[in-house]
């Protein structure tokens, strides 16, 4: 469990830094996890990814698509974007690749 937590924290921090600069494809999550923990199972990769997505989307990250013509980010309009993304991931039967499933973007949330 300690390995899983250490990898999750490191990957979440790296992903957060990347989101400071640009959109990040969902495919980056499993790539970063497997880079840091090569022998990890597919189920653990998905579990770590889901935890990271939950944490980031609870703060200031949104999942969606990027319009291929305009480059505009289009946030998903669904009740649980993280669960939707994870369902799509399972249906793929492999880790998402470049452009598959979703993109993440950091958004400025209004202050209460």
Contact of 107 with 59, CB cutoff 8 Å = no
- For the segment 43-74, what is each residue's pLDDT rounded down to a tens digit? 999 999 999 999 999 999 999 999 989 989 99
Contact of 15 with 28, CB cutoff 8 Å = yes
- Residue 110 CA to residue 108 CA, distance in Å, equals 6
- The answer, as to whether pTM is greater than 0.85, is yes
**Which are the contacts of 28, defined by CB distance < 8 A and separation ≥ 6?**
15, 18
Domain ranges of the chain: 2-105
Give the total residue count for the chain: 112
Q: How many CB atoms are located within 10 Å of the residue 50 CB?
A: 16
**Residue 76 clears pLDDT 90, i.e. is over it:** yes
Out of 3.30.460, 1.10.3470, 1.10.3510, 1.10.287, the CATH code matching 2-105 is 1.10.3510
**Residue 25 clears pLDDT 70, i.e. is over it:** yes
């Amino acid at each position: 469990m300690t390995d899983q937590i250490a990898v999750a924290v490191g990957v979440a921090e790296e992903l957060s830094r990347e989101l400071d600069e640009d959109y990040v494809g969902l495919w980056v999550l499993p790539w970063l996890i497997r880079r840091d923990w090569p022998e990890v199972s597919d189920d653990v990769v998905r579990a770590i990814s889901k935890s990271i997505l939950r944490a980031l989307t609870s703060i200031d990250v949104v999942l969606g698509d990027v319009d291929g013509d305009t480059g505009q980010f289009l946030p998903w309009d669904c009740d649980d974007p993280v669960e939707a993304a994870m369902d799509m991931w399972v249906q793929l039967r492999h880790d998402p690749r470049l452009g598959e499933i979703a993109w993440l973007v950091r958004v400025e949330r209004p202050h209460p």
